[in-house]
Structure 1
Amino acid sequence: MAVAAAAAAVAATAMGLAASPAAAAPTKVTAAQPGGTCTAADLGTRHPYIKTTEVSPTITHFKGWYVTEGTTGNQTITTSTQTTITVSVGLNGNVEGSFAAEALGQVGASLGLNVKVDYSSTSSESNSVGWTFSQPGYYGVYKGTKKVTGTYGSLNCNRAQQADGSWTLKWAEGPGSGSFTTYTTLEEGAVRCQDEVPAGSIMAKAQDLLDCGSATAKAAHPAGAVAPTATQEQRLDSLTQPSALTNGMSATQPEASGGGARAALDCQTQVYKIAVPGKSLSWGAPLLADDGVRLRPSTIFSAHLDNWRLCNVTEHHGVLEASLWNWGNGGCATITEQNAATDRAVLMTVPCTEDDLQRFYIYRDKPGSTKIGVQNKYTGSMMGHDRYADGEFIRQYSSGRQDGTGTYSLIGV
């Protein structure tokens, strides 16, 4: 068996076939689907769904290399970086939090590819390629990958009225759509002009960079690197241009205003507690400016710090949008700008300026129930808490708390 495997490897080398590490099969992802049913425990969660994908073989490292009769055998070639692919999801480009990882996991599952699901970049890969050249000739030595780009949407659980007038909970498209970039495991290899390679493959991309119709490929050369022709330079330059799919594309979240004059809020007269269902703790605003919103028991000494009003309220497709004004300290709930991209950032209260960091979507259970989920408009993250305890911070989670602890009750007082 070992002899057969070795022979197969030699045959692959002779044909210019690429060597790539074995990749595990993509993990199957069970995802929420638009229009699918959800439960009250899902009100405080969200999930991605993939709208479009594009897969493009891409050369990340390349070197033209001439092998003479006396220079065959094992060689290590240092290639030049041609293009850099960085994994990114959404507006800020990071891959922090479960929402981004779930989105990329769905990409891999839908395409049957093993893609990167955490922050990484092809620039961190070594430029060296070790290869056994069995025949003289003009080779393109390369590293390459399948670049995967596309767009995603966000699904949230919310009330929906059915044709017979009854109500149910369904997954519906919410805010937070955007674009993503990822890539598969890098493969490396060497290919000649005369090798027959699969159309549209990474190897074919490398062969295209050889400029096989030029005199460079036909003339006698000393062993070693071959200077790129003018045509090769044009092709190499094109590798560094942004993808047409993702160029200029970003998440649909607007820019945070970063301050400004105090807003004049139009608040509803109704006062609410935002409570843990069936429990004694509710959101309480801080007395100190550098503290955050915490779970607190309601007492006669709460000084209205656990009382909230909904201000400048609008409604779109059954989803409320509002600012959350605290009666006790006169501030508005917000995720601070410097922490907007941070998963588990603490919910704060600050002077009301009515920017999108201070705006929240409220997803509601069926009529008659007080249960809600709360989502920051700018970050797209859901509000929740790590554990049920007096003094526990309310935080943002990119996908919400999947154990249902991000579902609260909006109780009038």
Structure 2
Amino acid sequence: MKKNTRTRLPALTAVAGLAGSLLIVLPSAGAADAAPLICEPGTRSVKWISTSRTQVLTHSVESYKGGRDTVSRTLDHVRTIKAGHNVTQGNGDGYSTRKVLTSLDAQVDGAYTHTKSKTTTKNASIKITVSQSGRYYFYRGTVKATGTWQGSSCDRGSRWVVDAHGTAQTFGAEVEGVLRCGESIDGKSLGRLVQRTHC
């Protein structure tokens, strides 16, 4: 007596197809053990360990005492502020002056230069018309930002590796002005520094 093979073949085919689909969706051991990507391979990041913001007089402070008059003063250059960065330890490749100073700008209140540069070394002349009597001071200077930075590079996308340390310094737009002792001055302005030290 012959066995009925027609009914068994479709069942075997279905089982084989099911086993094949199961093998396709099972993850490999390597995929299960792979670490997730946390950064773009080859990218670099700057972190600030410490930062500071300081008002600096770049020229001499000259005075006038009297009443209504047209007054001019020449301010002698006394200090130059430079912008730039250096690497004190590690590999500085990939940490350009612009990259570091742009990052510093984002950390410190104000707006600063993002290139290697310096403040003017020339004397400055200021002329004003005095409207009321008193003691006046003529000044010129800038705001300086400094900091200590740490550089990290992305290693194959799985972790950040610290590979550089350094310091940086930059400055904002140079400003000049005249103040009268006793008048109200913004506490963050360069004029407030002059008022504290001279009036």
Q: Do the aligned partners of 1:68 and 1:137 also contact (CA within 8 Å) in 2?
A: yes
Deviation readout 1:243-295 (Å, 9 max, x if unpaired): xxxxxxxxxxxxxxxxxxxxxxxxxxxxxxxxxxxxxxxxxxxxxxxxxxxxx
* TM-score (norm: length of structure 2): 0.68
Hey, what's the Cα distance between the residues in 2 that align with 1:106 and 1:131? 38
Deviation at 1:158, TM superposition (A): 1.3
Aligned letter for 1:85?
Answer: I
Cross-structure match for 2:40: 39
Aligned letter for 2:97?
Answer: A
Q: Do the aligned partners of 2:54 and 2:145 also contact (CA within 8 Å) in 1?
A: yes
**What does 1:228-377 correspond to in 2, within 5 Å?**
none
Cross-structure match for 2:73: 77
Deviation readout 1:164-211 (Å, 9 max, x if unpaired): xxxx5222322x21111111111111112212223353111111332x
Asked if 1:156 is matched to 2:157, the reply is: no
Higher relative contact order, chain-length normalized (CA < 8 Å, sep 6+): 2
Deviation readout 1:280-319 (Å, 9 max, x if unpaired): xxxxxxxxxxxxxxxxxxxxxxxxxxxxxxxxxxxxxxxx
Cross-structure match for 1:64: 62
**Structure 1 residues 130 and 108, CA gap change in structure 2 (3 angstroms):** farther
Hey, what's the Cα distance between the residues in 1 that align with 2:50 and 2:122? 28
Hey, what's the Cα distance between the residues in 2 that align with 1:154 and 1:127? 39
Cross-structure match for 1:139: 136
Q: Do the aligned partners of 1:64 and 1:138 also contact (CA within 8 Å) in 2?
A: no
* TM-score (norm: length of structure 1): 0.35
1:182 to 170, 177, 189: 170
Hey, what's the Cα distance between the residues in 2 that align with 1:98 and 1:46? 8
Q: Do the aligned partners of 1:87 and 1:121 also contact (CA within 8 Å) in 2?
A: yes
1:173 to 162, 171, 175: 162
Hey, what's the Cα distance between the residues in 2 that align with 1:153 and 1:141? 40
Deviation at 1:46, TM superposition (A): 3.1
**Structure 1 residues 118 and 125, CA gap change in structure 2 (3 angstroms):** farther
Residue identity (%):
25
2:108 to 108, 111, 128: 111
Asked if 1:203 is matched to 2:191, the reply is: yes
Deviation at 1:82, TM superposition (A): 3.4
Cross-structure match for 2:46: 48
**Structure 1 residues 138 and 82, CA gap change in structure 2 (3 angstroms):** farther
Q: Do the aligned partners of 2:75 and 2:123 also contact (CA within 8 Å) in 1?
A: no
* Structure 1: gaps (5+ residues): 1-35, 160-167, 213-413
**Structure 1 residues 130 and 153, CA gap change in structure 2 (3 angstroms):** farther
Aligned letter for 1:151?
Answer: T
Deviation at 1:110, TM superposition (A): 2.5
Aligned letter for 2:158?
Answer: L
Q: Do the aligned partners of 1:84 and 1:121 also contact (CA within 8 Å) in 2?
A: yes
Q: Do the aligned partners of 2:58 and 2:78 also contact (CA within 8 Å) in 1?
A: yes
Q: Do the aligned partners of 2:77 and 2:123 also contact (CA within 8 Å) in 1?
A: no
**Structure 1 residues 144 and 208, CA gap change in structure 2 (3 angstroms):** same
Deviation at 1:67, TM superposition (A): 4.1
Deviation readout 1:358-380 (Å, 9 max, x if unpaired): xxxxxxxxxxxxxxxxxxxxxxx
**Structure 1 residues 199 and 113, CA gap change in structure 2 (3 angstroms):** closer
**Structure 1 residues 115 and 39, CA gap change in structure 2 (3 angstroms):** same
Secondary structure of the 1:191 match is strand
* Structure 2: gaps (5+ residues): 1-36, 89-93
Number of equivalent positions? 158
Deviation readout 1:225-252 (Å, 9 max, x if unpaired): xxxxxxxxxxxxxxxxxxxxxxxxxxxx
Deviation at 1:126, TM superposition (A): 4.8
Deviation readout 1:102-146 (Å, 9 max, x if unpaired): 111111123342101112222335522233322232211001211
Hey, what's the Cα distance between the residues in 2 that align with 1:169 and 1:125? 52
Deviation readout 1:82-104 (Å, 9 max, x if unpaired): 33211120159xxxx86221111
Cross-structure match for 1:192: 180
Q: Do the aligned partners of 1:55 and 1:149 also contact (CA within 8 Å) in 2?
A: yes
